[in-house]
Amino acid sequence: MKLPNYIDLAIIGAGVQSLTLTTSLLQKSEKYYHKFLVFDSTQTWLTQWQQQFAAQQIPYLRSPAVHHPDPNPHQLRNFAEHRHHELFPPYDRPGTKLFDDFCNEVIRRWKLADKVYPAKVIQILPIKRGLSSRFQLVLDTVETIIARRVVIATGNSQVQVPHWVEKITSDYPLDRLCHSQQVNLNKLNITGERILIIGGGLTSGHLAKGAINLGATVTLMTRKQLQSRVFDTDPGWLGPKYLKDFHAETDWSVRYQQIQEARNGGSMTPEMILQLRKLGSLGTMIINECCQVSNVQWQNNLWQVYCHDGNKYQFNRIWLATGTRFNIKEYPLVQEVLNAYPTEIVNGLPVLDEHLRLPKSNFFIMGGLAALQIGPVARNIGGGRMSCQRIVPAIVKPSLAIR
């Protein structure tokens, strides 16, 4: 594919939210097909998503069948007409293979396979000429392109690690302490090993089950009691039940607080907790709730782990299923744009306009960084759909456009 000099819309990232945006856009305006390009170093849609699901051996999604990248909410159920065994109760949560196949069908039906340009955007330079503004995208291929509008849809979160990790003084093999995003269960030989997994979210459950299947014994350590929830936030956050009051709140700090309370750290599905308790009763797993690590040392090829309660343990590996955080100040790609379009930032989240733009700009942000506008589900598939309802009108309706 030859890179044009100019494009009306550049979408950065080829994940689920980006795919949702492109189908929403084409549903509203078919003529927009030749006006946008998606940039992703992997060259194909959903690569990172699929790699993460495969690495953690996740059998099905946490979200229900109505949440997917096609504008028609019933499309996935229609697609699964002869594959009902791949929809899991409650709420028909789609199996990973079913969801992947469906997304491939969406890409085929909307003719999107050739819309991903195989390059990583490494710099975005705002260009202001009189009343109009453009953005120059610099790619890792040394190419450049000018875009009238840019949408950031990369996920753009930073991994969170506990404070004691920075205090480790001894050298240790890097594969013996890693964040959950670096763990690939398909490439490990851990038979007979003792593994400590830290975190009470669904990821830690998937990793625990995967490690036990590979012949390891697991200790799951959480700073509070395991929380049982079907979804990671209450479904009321997808509609007016909670969003009405959320959108009426004018204090951005209060909104931020509401987001934190709604997500309330990690949680697991009821069936995952049941499976883990069962593994605990079989002796392949210990669940250590309300326990926190105070210090660790690498000695004699083992982790010596000291906890706040005075107990000491030994492990071969430590996996940190401690989640990610969103902070636009820690996202290098957007810093020059933020300098050109000063934006209020509350605890790392930007205050965007109602169409998810940086103020007075054609620079859109979706995903977790749009949470002050979308709410606590901003990073989820359903949150992506809600973001599209705000972004698409600003692109296709001339009356809402910024020059």
Are 96 and 135 contained in the same domain? yes
Residue 90 preceded by cis peptide, ω within 30: yes
| Residue in 167, 210, 172 with CA at minimum distance from that of residue 303 | 172
Kindly report the CATH number assigned to the domain that includes residue 131: 3.50.50.60
| Residue in 131, 183, 123 with CA at minimum distance from that of residue 150 | 123
- Contacts (Cβ under 8 Å, ≥6 apart) of 364: 149, 150, 151, 152, 355, 356, 357, 391, 394
Tokens of 182: 């670096």
pTM reported for the whole predicted model:
0.97
**Is position 235 within any domain?**
no
Residue 285 CA: distances (Å) to CA of 81, 158, 221, 276: 38, 29, 11, 8
**Is position 237 within any domain?**
no
Q: What is the pLDDT of residue 224?
A: 95
For residue 160, the 8-state DSSP code is: -
Per-residue pLDDT of the chain (403 residues; tens, 9 = 90+): 899 999 999 999 999 999 999 999 999 999 999 999 999 999 999 999 999 999 999 999 999 999 999 999 999 999 999 999 999 999 999 999 999 999 999 999 999 999 999 999 999 999 988 778 999 999 999 999 999 999 999 988 999 999 999 999 989 999 999 999 999 999 999 999 999 999 999 999 999 999 999 999 999 999 999 999 999 999 999 999 999 999 999 999 999 999 999 998 899 999 999 999 999 999 999 999 999 999 999 999 999 999 999 999 999 999 999 999 999 999 999 999 999 999 999 999 999 999 999 999 999 999 999 999 999 999 999 999 999 999 999 999 999 999 8
Are 45 and 167 contained in the same domain? no
Are 269 and 394 contained in the same domain? no
Q: What is the pLDDT of residue 132?
A: 83
Tokens of 22: 């492109």
Q: Could you tell me which residues are beta bridge partners of residue 158?
A: 325
Are 95 and 28 contained in the same domain? yes
Are 175 and 206 contained in the same domain? yes
**Is position 280 within any domain?**
yes
200 lies in which domain range?
A: 161-227+265-323
Are 211 and 286 contained in the same domain? yes
* Residue the block writes with tokens 């969103």: 326
What are φ and ψ of residue 284, in 5° steps? -90, -5
Q: What is the pLDDT of residue 265?
A: 86
- Contacts (Cβ under 8 Å, ≥6 apart) of 203: 56, 180, 266, 321, 323
| Residue in 341, 324, 227 with CA at minimum distance from that of residue 273 | 227
* Number of domains making up the chain: 2
Residues comprising the chain, all counted: 403
Q: What is the pLDDT of residue 71?
A: 98
| Residue in 118, 94, 120 with CA at minimum distance from that of residue 105 | 94
Pure H helices in 162-201: none
**Is position 253 within any domain?**
no
Q: What is the pLDDT of residue 314?
A: 98
Q: What is the pLDDT of residue 84?
A: 96
**Is position 1 within any domain?**
no
Q: What is the pLDDT of residue 131?
A: 75
Q: What is the pLDDT of residue 261?
A: 96
* Residue the block writes with tokens 């940190």: 320
Are 110 and 206 contained in the same domain? no
**Is position 30 within any domain?**
yes
Are 352 and 269 contained in the same domain? no
Are 279 and 343 contained in the same domain? no
Are 122 and 197 contained in the same domain? no
Are 188 and 315 contained in the same domain? yes
Q: What is the pLDDT of residue 30?
A: 95
Are 115 and 178 contained in the same domain? no
